[in-house]
Amino acid sequence: MPIVESPDADRFGSAPGTRIGWGISDVLVAFVLSLVAASIAELPFVQNGRLPTHLAVPAALVSLTAQTAAAIGYLAVASRKGLGSLRADFGLRLAPRDGGWFAVGLGISALSGVLIAPIVDAGHLTDSSQDVVRLFQHSHGVDSVFFAVAVLVIAPVGEELLFRGALLRGLLRRTNPATAVWISALVFALVHVLLDPGAGFAVPALLLLGLVSGFRAVRTGNLSESILLHAGFNLLAVLQILT
């Protein structure tokens, strides 16, 4: 991708006219590499061509960790074509003063449950149609602890960096903020369905999270509020699955 000047460089904490060489193509590469890493990470758990039930939970946790690490690792390398760091190029930071957004995320999750209730009722669906729910409903002990860490920490950081950090900022160089936020939110929601078809009924909830998170990322110029929003949003699901 050709090197272009970023019109939003000053908004995101760098000098106007900064030359940025990474783009949407790098987001795609990061996403594909994350899927490959996730698949490779599961291989040691496979026995006789299949994944034993008793190893499904640890395999999923290792896979998610590898998936996130691969995306972060590639974007760290891609940042060398820009400002040189995950924070400067993609806004990766976490500020304790933004802690209140965790509660906002929890509220969005509760509101989303109300919004998708008609869809769930009309389709006679349950949360157990989602792969992740079926997998972790019967987790216990240390598996439950690692599951909570994965969903409340690892997933929010990795997904916000990819969708609200790299993808959103790449789109901002090509279109206006509102359009960029909508596209990144829609891609975020559809990717979840692509990876877990059982999550199709949750598209409105995921889209709402993506929109709020995206607009906050544009407004603040970093991912602190977005990560906390995402973690709070996921908390309700964790409580429902583990209780």
Residues 222 and 148: their CA atoms lie apart, in Å, by 24
**What pLDDT score was predicted for residue 128?**
44
Residues 71 and 32: their CA atoms lie apart, in Å, by 9
Q: Is the dihedral of CA 178, 111, 206, 121 positive or negative?
A: negative
Please tell me whether residue 47 adopts helix, strand or coil conformation: strand
Are the beta carbons of 206 and 188 closer than 8 angstroms? Answer: yes
pLDDT (tens digit per residue) in 163-218: 999 999 999 999 999 999 999 999 999 998 888 887 777 888 999 999 999 999 99
Give all strands (DSSP E) within the chain, no chain letters. Answer: 4-5, 19-20
- Give 50's DSSP letter: B
Residues 29 and 143: their CA atoms lie apart, in Å, by 31
Residues 60 and 144: their CA atoms lie apart, in Å, by 12
**What pLDDT score was predicted for residue 120?**
59
Can you name the residues that pair with 54 across neighbouring β-strands?
none
Please tell me whether residue 156 adopts helix, strand or coil conformation: helix
* Segment 187-196 long-range contacts (CB within 8 Å, at least 24 positions apart): 187/163, 188/159, 188/163, 191/31, 191/163, 196/130, 196/131, 196/132
Q: What is the pLDDT along the chain (243 residues), one digit of tens a residue?
A: 333 334 344 354 444 556 789 999 999 999 999 999 999 999 999 988 888 877 888 888 899 999 999 999 999 999 999 999 999 999 999 999 999 999 999 999 998 878 776 765 665 455 544 555 566 666 667 777 888 888 899 999 999 999 999 999 999 999 999 999 999 999 999 998 888 887 777 888 999 999 999 999 999 999 999 999 999 999 988 887 766
**What pLDDT score was predicted for residue 23?**
94
- Identify the CA nearest to 136 among candidates 223, 237, 46: 237
Backbone angles phi, psi at 47, to 5 degrees: -130, 125
